[in-house]
Structure formats: C-alpha cells, structure tokens
A = this chain, B = another copy of it.
Amino acid sequence: MNILIVYAHPEPHSLNGALKDFSVQHLQAQGHTVQVSDLYAMDWKAPIDATDSLAAPVGPHFHPSLDSKHAYANGVQSPDIAREQDKLRWADTVILQFPLWWFSMPAILKGWIDRVYAYGFAYGVGEHSDQRWGERYGQGAMSGKRAMLVVTTGGWESHYSPRGINGPIDDVLFPIQHGVLHYPGFDVLPPFVVYRTSRMDEARFADVRSALGQRLDTLATTAPIPYRKQNMGDYMIPALTLRDEIAPGQSGYAVHLDASQ
C-alpha cells in the first residue's frame, strides 16, 4: 500500500517523533511505501491567506473559499498545497499523527487541513440537488481510501471516558474523524490513542509500540467506524437532518453511526 503519514510535532526527540519513526520503519518492513509530511520540518505555512492562490482574487477582495475554488480549478494553487493534494491522491491510507492540544490538533496541522482541503477537492464537490448535497460524508475525492488518527494526550483514559470530564474521546475526535476525514470520503478506522504521556517508561513504550504495530498490520482489514453516508437515503435533503424513522427520538453524534453496517 501507499501510506501517507501527516505528522505534527515540533521535536523529533519526543514520544511523537519516536512513534512516527517506528511507524515508518514498521510499514516499510511490511513492504509498504511510505511518505511523511513532517509539517514542522517542512515549515508548513498554517494560515489560509491570499498567497494560497497565484492568481489575483476573483472578486474585489480576497475570499477564502471562492479563491480556493478558482485556484484549484485553474491550476494556480500555491505549489505547497498542490504537492500535498498529490500525496493524498497517491495514498491508499492516510495517518494523521499529532498530540492532542486543547482538544484538537496543533495549529500547524489545522493549517494543513485548512489549506490542502481546497474547494473543489475536499469540499464543494459534486451536484447539489434534491437527491444529493455534494459528494461528501462518505463520498468524494478520498472515497476508497482509509484514514486513521494516531493521537497522544497527557490526560488519563478515564478523563476521556463516557462520563469523563474532558468528554468521551469519540466525541472529542468526532469533528476530525467525521468532519475532516469522513467528509471527503475516507473510511475512518478507530483511532490509536496514547493517554497519560507524562508517565512513559521503556516498558510502557514497548507496549505502546507493539499495540501500534498491530494497528498498522491491520490497516487494510480493520472495520471502519460505521458513519452514515449522506446521500444514501438516511438524511433529508437539503435540511440534512436524520430521517425521523432512523434512531427515533435520539440526537447527538451517535445517531450518525449505523450499527447495521
């Protein structure tokens, strides 16, 4: 397989750095081809701005989505953006690896999503009609590809448990797994989460590495999170609310899981 690891940690000599190096070596040893977008090493520009298009703004002023659309459609995106899109097209599986900072990804990785996920590439794709509302949430450019998060956090597993104070980890990661990965079509594998990173010794690191290795060995076979697809009948269009007869009376993130999948 072709595997892209998008990696965001400022220090190579870190738990994240060690896990990334392990993943690369482990995957290569299994015969996979691996590319790493090491965002800090690349000095990735995080903020969306007018320089993301090589063309002048299409309107009187810079408009993030309309200028992204124009630049993508006309091949005048900033080359750093186009290169990352090429890596995504090349990849069969994408791993986003990062420390959970303030219950989300580090800014530099958010900036990779914000900029690489262009209008026409990751959103604004396909027809909008009474039957379809764009190719998204289960359809789109990343259809047929798999994605997985590898996340570290200082918090304890109990802090992210169903009644934990940080919120359940599945809910904390929902905006990324559902909103960033399922949206353009990825099949999203359950995340690999390392808790309580300040308590890491050699023995525990060996266990973590072993558990990660097992997840890497089963990238092609692990069942994805069964997120519902938008345009397959479960949702009203264009309201995009779940039909009354599905999970009746329930609400929240969990209704977007289809247990029958």
Chain A contacts to B: CB under 8 angstroms: 10-14, 40, 44, 46-50, 60-65, 99, 101-108, 110-111, 113-114, 117, 137, 154, 156, 158-159, 161-168, 171-172, 174-176, 178-180, 230, 235, 238-242, 247, 250-256
Contacts and interface: CB of A to CB of B under 8 A. Distances in A.
A99 to B, nearest CB: 8
A49 B165 contact: no
A106 B114 contact: yes
Contact of A114 (B62, B107, B156): B107
A7 to B, nearest CB: 13
Nearest to A64: B10
B46 A107 contact: yes
B48 A10 contact: yes
B63 A175 contact: no
Contacts of A242: 163-165
Given A61-B13, A137-B165, A175 B172 contact: yes
A60 B13 contact: yes
A241 B175 CA distance: 22
A10 B175 contact: no
